Amino acid sequence: MNDALLESMPENIQDLISDFEFLDSWEDRYMHVIDMGKSLPPLEPALKTDATKVKGCVSQVWLVSERSGEENPVLKFKGDSDAHIVKGLVAVVLEIFSGRHASEILKLEARSILEKLGLSEHLSPQRSNGLQAMVARIKAEAESLV
């Protein structure tokens, strides 16, 4: 990702990328992802349903959204997982997408952001697929509202 593209991103994504760039090793990044997951509030058990479950994830992942506004609504997401590293990946995805207008969500290049975080090359194929499934679910929801 070039510097101009990075600078055009929302500030919280720039901060997220800076945090990951500061960490030297994959183990440090891995621990940071897990810590991000620990900071996520648990999803209420009543929200952990088949309808909120993300298909395509080996671990169980649930994503729930709230929207505000009629035209081009702002989407806020909550999520959870039964696995520590995956819950951390949920936290990363929420940091990227939550609290944005649907049209803004559609413009964000998640693949580029995740590559810049150094996640793409270090995750197992199953976790990468699950991460892409989370992104696809969020993008599909945004698409349905634009």
List the catalytic residues. 57
How remote is the C-alpha of 36 from its chain's centroid?
Answer: 11
Task: At 139, list the tokens.
Answer: 């993008």
The Cα-based distances of 7 to 21, 139, 145 in angstroms read 15, 22, 27
Cα–Cα distance for residue pair 49/115, rounded to 1 Å: 31
Please count the helices (runs of H) and the strands (runs of E) in the chain.
Answer: 7, 3
Answer for the pair 92, 117: CB distance below 8 angstroms, yes or no: yes
